[in-house]
Amino acid sequence: MVYIVSWDDFVERSVQLFRSNPEKTRYVMKYRHSEGKLVLKVTDDKECLKFKTDQAQDAKKMEKLNNIFFTLMARGPEVDVTEVTGKEQTAQPAKRGRGRKQ
């Protein structure tokens, strides 16, 4: 199994793999704290895609990939994933402190 170096290539190929066989595709995350490495794997038992990183900033990318897969699983494989990646987070209202009720 060869690791894919480019994050964008990994995401694109993972989505294609899921769409080709949504019933059998699995997505696995493995984090090794001792090495500080995160490994992502997407497989359908015929093809295996892996991505490895040791950069903390890639955790945000992993969250986006999770959102893509959650959307594909919930809405179906024919959903356009650009609407998932293009959405901005809505701002949460400011929380008030633990003061008295008014």
CB 7 within 8 A of CB 55: no
pLDDT at 90: 46
Question: Which pair of tokens denotes residue 85?
Answer: 């990646």
H-run or E-run covering 15: helix 7-20
Residues 15-43 pLDDT 10s: 999 999 989 999 999 988 888 888 999 99
CB 53 within 8 A of CB 2: no
**How far does CA 102 lie from the centroid of its chain?**
42
- Written as one string, the DSSP assignment of 38-54 is EEEEEE-SS-EEEEEE-
Domain boundaries, the chain: 7-85
Domain 7-85: which CATH number of 3.30.720.10, 3.40.309.10, 3.30.465.10, 3.40.50.170? 3.30.720.10
Question: Looking at the whole model, is its pTM more than 0.95?
Answer: no
